[in-house]
Structure 1
Amino acid sequence: MSDRIVSLLRTYVPKAWGLVVGALLAWLGIHAPWAVHVLDSLGIDLTSPAAVLVVVAGSESAWYAIWRALEPRLPDWMTRIVLGSAKPPIYTPPEA
């Protein structure tokens, strides 16, 4: 697999997982009574598109950071599932 495809996989697979996690967190925040109470007391309204955007973006960033930190200790099959590829891309400088 080319380094370009590996780089795209390692960009978009974690984003897709982060989107799923963020959507689940947003759903939980709207439907779990205890979470709704906590968020209301903090002044956060998860029915607001801006708040959902922040939750999704934050979950994408957290997903990637956590799995990148764990990557050296993960088997290759799990790295492929959570990050898209077990091999990081190799970037070469452009020729002058």
Structure 2
Amino acid sequence: MPLISQLIVNFFVAFGVVLGGAMLGGVASVLMLQPPTVQMLNLAEKMKIWAMVAAVGGTIDPIRYIENSFAEGHVSMAGKQILFIISAFIGAQLGTSLIQMICKSGTSS
């Protein structure tokens, strides 16, 4: 898969994990007769790191890959992994920001 395609996939996987998890957590809160906005905000913050992990495909493997690439002198391969992690971070952060906007607009009306 080309680099740009993989970056886009990582972005949207992380974005979707945060957005979908927080939204479904909000539905669970409604079923439990609790305010959904508080639960959604908490879940979005807690899921950010796990969304990144899901997007890049594992917890320690990308870090080991970066380490091995640098050790062997393959800086471009390590750079790609770093770009994948950054792409996933931006997706997770954007998903969290969207949940914050949704929850804040719902409480101000």
| TM-score normalised by length of structure 1 | 0.44
| TM-score normalised by length of structure 2 | 0.40
When you count helix as a share of all residues, which structure comes out higher? 2
